[in-house]
Amino acid sequence: MKFWNRKSKEEKTVVELNSEITCPYCEHQSMEVMPTTACQYFYECTNCNKVLKPINNDCCVYCSYGTVPCPPIQENGGESACC
Ligand SMILES: [Zn+2]
């Protein structure tokens, strides 16, 4: 009798949750922690208080203005399959 060899190691994608958003209006940069449960569609700049929205059909403000794309994008290897 043989047992199935189960992969004991789970290769987990390391998801970076910190993203630095650069405001397109005042170029103020702010380090934010991204939510993993939902995409953030709006972001209010902490400096000029303008509300940022995603550009070019991006799913969230982090994909448009952040240094790191949102967690679902990272998990899908760069494909915009979230939301
Ligand atoms: Zn701003």
What is the rounded distance in angstroms from the CA atom of residue 29 to the CA atom of residue 22?
A: 4
Residue 80 alpha carbon to ligand 1 centre in Å: 26
The encoded tokens of residue 25 equal 């209006």
pLDDT (0 to 100) of residue 49: 97
- Check residue 37 and give its pLDDT: 83
Ion ligand 1 contact residues with beta carbon within 5 A: 23, 25-26, 28, 45, 47-48
Residue 7 has pLDDT above 90, yes or no: no
Tell me, yes or no, whether 70 lies in a domain.
yes
69 neighbors 75 (Cβ within 8 angstroms): no
In a domain, 83, yes or no: no
d(CA 47, CA 33): 17
Residue 53, domain member (yes or no): yes
The parent domain of residue 18 ranges over 2-75
Distance (angstroms) between ligand 1 centre and the Cα of 13 equals 32
pLDDT in tens, 30-77: 999 998 888 899 999 999 999 999 998 898 999 999 999 988 888 887
Centre of ligand 1 to C-alpha 10, Å, is 41
* DSSP strand pairing (29-33 vs 18-22): antiparallel
